[in-house]
């Protein structure tokens, strides 16, 4: 069957070979195994069900939430000589009737359906009459509360799968599944964990870096000057910051466009066009910009403020270097942005999602504090095994010396324990630096042996150090009404002297400032 799959790849799609992961996913599906396939956008997920659909007898059902993409997909398949159709709310009832009639006659190799359709009893009754060898679930993270786009209608998929007497294989596909989301998908769609295919998250032409402890406006000015001929995107967290940045850059003579949800439609389209046609070299935007944008020569993506989670970050940063040429992805990190993002999360309407969102935000903060390879961090965040450092990112190319900070780490860890592991970073930093904060004294923390033990440092430095210990997984964060910190197993090993802690020397911001007037 795999030979047949390969010949379809050649005859219908014009490709000579499978990409990494495609062959494994396809052979599992052809072997009747329920499978989950996690690949980044553009990785080639569609082939993983389109080819089995051609090989297998009957009509493959594809559940997809994106109505506009459904039509594109079907058009592409029809153009390649593959009979396919879609069913969603854009069809008239006459069209719906005709399509279902043809489907019952077995005229399609693929039938795309919107998940909401599964809520209709009569529709499901009709589906039952088809011969279905495979059910492909696109954007499968929508089935999980932990995904960034939970859709209750996805919960009907499993029941649909049980309708068919021949026990069709299920193939779940997604670009953004953290281990937690993957677990949900596997459990809800009866996929064995060993049938997970994850590949292709590394982007070999992108170099990631995190800049902190520097004035970001100054950094941006220098960076744009050095790269004035190159196209790039600057993402900011709020509309207000976009407007401010836009005005500032425009004043300094940079050809800049802007984009955010508060602008009128016509304005947004014309600004986007100016960027796409290279009339403007820099785009300043909120995360509203970029969906479906296909501009290949973007040389850098700078996040002026902290993105809300790794999923959004990698998607936005990934818009750089589509043409395969070397490009940069930079986060300008300042710890106060964490408060901004926390505020934005707190404003969101779905109260029950707040703990998940806060945990994901913490993943983003960890990214900014890790001293490991950043590409490695990203790839393992998405669950792909990744044995060696990339050699390109800000951390891999960092030549600063590491210093042993085990003693200092032990002071912080022991303070966290003495405070009962019920408080946040800020309060802990205040105790360590010997603050006279009233609440702290009310709790009697000024009597702890760790009170003021780091008083030579600022609260900000100690808070940063705690963030660093979190990124090293020596301290954990629990999201209650407010986040509280605790010492992890690994942290206890450090306390017991079983493990040491190394940290890169701090950036000497002063020297950078005099080098760069």
CB of 444 to ligand ADP, least distance (A): 57
Q: Does 152 bind ligand ADP (CB under 6 A)?
A: no
Q: In the complex with ligand ADP, which residue's Cβ is closer, 42 or 179?
A: 42
DSSP structural state of residue 220: H
Q: Does 345 bind ligand ADP (CB under 6 A)?
A: no
Q: Are 421 and 484 in contact (CB under 8 A)?
A: yes
Q: Does 394 bind Zn ion (CB under 5 A)?
A: no
Phi-psi region of 181 (alpha: psi -120 to 50; beta: other; left: phi over 0): alpha
Residue 68: count other Cβ atoms within 10 Å of its Cβ.
Answer: 10
CB of 45 to ligand ADP, least distance (A): 3
Of 75-83, 130-138, 310-318, 365-373, the window that binds Zn ion (rule: CB under 5 A) is 365-373
CB of 109 to ligand ADP, least distance (A): 16
Instruction: Give the one residue of 6, 12, 19, 216 binding ligand ADP; rule: CB under 6 A.
Output: 19
Q: In the complex with ligand ADP, which residue's Cβ is closer, 155 or 322?
A: 322
Of 37-45, 233-241, 264-272, 499-507, the window that binds ligand ADP (rule: CB under 6 A) is 37-45
CB of 42 to ligand ADP, least distance (A): 5
Of 40-48, 98-106, 259-267, 384-392, the window that binds ligand ADP (rule: CB under 6 A) is 40-48
Helices 459-471 + 354-369 axis angle, to 10? 100
Structure tokens at 41: 């956008």
Q: In the complex with Zn ion, which residue's Cβ is closer, 378 or 462?
A: 378
- Number of helical (H) and strand (E) elements in the chain, helices listed first: 21, 17
CB of 381 to Zn ion, least distance (A): 14
Instruction: Give the one residue of 28, 30, 36, 45 binding ligand ADP; rule: CB under 6 A.
Output: 45
Q: Does 324 bind ligand ADP (CB under 6 A)?
A: no
Query: Could you say which of ligand ADP, Zn ion, none residue 170 binds, taking C-beta under 5 to 8 angstroms by partner kind?
Result: none
Q: Are 206 and 317 in contact (CB under 8 A)?
A: yes
Q: Does 37 bind ligand ADP (CB under 6 A)?
A: no
CA distance 239 to 364: 21
Q: Does 296 bind ligand ADP (CB under 6 A)?
A: no
Q: Are 209 and 393 in contact (CB under 8 A)?
A: yes
Q: Does 343 bind ligand ADP (CB under 6 A)?
A: no
Instruction: Give the one residue of 35, 46, 435, 471 binding ligand ADP; rule: CB under 6 A.
Output: 46
Give the chain's radius of gyration (CA, Å). 26
DSSP labels, 365-386 = HHHHH--S-HHHHHHHHTT---
The residue whose two tokens read 């995360």 is 287
Instruction: Give the one residue of 31, 42, 106, 213 binding ligand ADP; rule: CB under 6 A.
Output: 42
Q: In the complex with ligand ADP, which residue's Cβ is closer, 315 or 430?
A: 315
Query: Could you say which of ligand ADP, Zn ion, none residue 396 binds, taking C-beta under 5 to 8 angstroms by partner kind?
Result: Zn ion
Q: Does 82 bind ligand ADP (CB under 6 A)?
A: no
Query: Could you say which of Zn ion, ligand ADP, none residue 66 binds, taking C-beta under 5 to 8 angstroms by partner kind?
Result: none
Q: Does 39 bind ligand ADP (CB under 6 A)?
A: yes
Residue of 172, 170, 117, 113 whose CA lies nearest to 140: 172
CA distance 494 to 201: 33
Instruction: Give the one residue of 5, 390, 427, 466 binding Zn ion; rule: CB under 5 A.
Output: 390
Instruction: Give the one residue of 66, 96, 198, 396 binding Zn ion; rule: CB under 5 A.
Output: 396
- CB-based contacts of 97-106 (< 8 A; 24+ apart in sequence): 100/126, 103/59, 103/130, 104/129, 104/130, 106/58, 106/59, 106/130, 106/131
Of 13-21, 54-62, 153-161, 206-214, the window that binds ligand ADP (rule: CB under 6 A) is 13-21
CA distance 501 to 149: 38
CB of 125 to ligand ADP, least distance (A): 31
Phi-psi region of 278 (alpha: psi -120 to 50; beta: other; left: phi over 0): left
CA distances from 361 to 164, 272, 318, 429 (A): 41, 29, 19, 20
Residue 514: count other Cβ atoms within 10 Å of its Cβ.
Answer: 8
Binding site for Zn ion (CB under 5 A): 373, 375, 389-390, 393, 396
Binding site for ligand ADP (CB under 6 A): 15, 18-19, 22, 39, 41-47
């Amino acid at each position: 069957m795999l030979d047949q799959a390969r010949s379809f790849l050649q005859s219908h799609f014009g490709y000579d070979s499978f990409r990494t992961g495609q062959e494994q996913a396809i052979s599992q599906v052809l072997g009747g195994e329920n499978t989950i396939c996690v690949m980044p956008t553009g990785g080639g997920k569609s082939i993983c069900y389109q080819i089995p659909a051609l090989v297998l007898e009957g009509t493959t059902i594809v559940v997809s939430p994106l109505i506009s993409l459904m039509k594109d997909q079907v058009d592409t398949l029809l153009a390649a000589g593959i009979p396919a159709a879609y069913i969603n709310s854009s069809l008239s009832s006459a069209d719906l009737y005709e399509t279902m009639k043809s489907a019952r006659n077995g005229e399609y190799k693929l039938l795309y359906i919107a998940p909401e359709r599964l809520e209709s009893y009569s529709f499901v009754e009709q589906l039952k009459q088809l011969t279905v060898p495979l059910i492909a679930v696109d954007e499968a993270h929508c089935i999980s509360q932990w995904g960034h786009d939970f859709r209750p209608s996805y919960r009907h998929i499993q029941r649909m799968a049980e309708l068919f007497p021949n026990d069709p294989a299920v193939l779940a596909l997604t670009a953004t599944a953290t281990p937690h989301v993957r677990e949900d998908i596997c459990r809800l769609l009866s996929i064995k964990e060993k049938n997970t295919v994850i590949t292709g998250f590394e982007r070999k032409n992108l170099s990631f870096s995190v800049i902190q402890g520097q004035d970001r406006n100054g950094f941006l000015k220098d960076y744009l000057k050095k790269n004035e001929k190159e196209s790039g995107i600057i993402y900011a967290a709020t509309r207000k910051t976009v407007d401010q940045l836009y005005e500032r850059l425009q004043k300094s003579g940079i050809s800049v466009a802007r984009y955010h949800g508060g602008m009128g439609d016509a304005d947004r389209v014309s600004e986007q066009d100016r960027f796409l046609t290279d009339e403007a070299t820099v785009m300043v935007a909120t995360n509203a910009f970029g969906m479906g944008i296909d501009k290949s020569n973007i040389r850098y993506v700078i996040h002026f403020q902290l993105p809300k989670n790794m999923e959004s970050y990698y998607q936005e940063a990934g818009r750089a270097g589509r043409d395969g040429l070397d490009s940069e992805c930079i986060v300008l990190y300042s710890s106060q942005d964490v408060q901004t993002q926390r505020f934005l999360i707190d404003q969101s309407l779905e109260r029950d999602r707040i703990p998940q969102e806060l945990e994901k935000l913490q993943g983003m903060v960890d990214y900014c504090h890790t001293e490991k390879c950043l590409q490695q961090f990203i790839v393992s965040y998405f669950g792909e095994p990744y044995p060696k450092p990339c050699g390109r990112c800000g951390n891999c190319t960092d030549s600063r010396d590491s210093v042993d900070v085990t003693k200092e780490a032990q002071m912080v860890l022991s303070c966290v324990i003495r405070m009962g592991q019920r408080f946040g970073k800020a309060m802990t930093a205040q105790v360590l630096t010997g603050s006279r904060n009233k609440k702290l004294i009310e709790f009697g923390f000024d009597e702890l042996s760790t009170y003021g033990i780091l008083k030579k440092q600022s609260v900000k430095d100690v808070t940063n150090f705690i963030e660093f210990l979190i990124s090293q997984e020596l301290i954990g964060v629990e999201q209650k009404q407010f986040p509280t910190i605790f010492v992890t197993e690994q942290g206890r090993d450090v306390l017991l002297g079983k493990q040491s802690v190394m940290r890169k020397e701090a950036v000497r911001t002063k020297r950078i400032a005099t080098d760069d007037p």
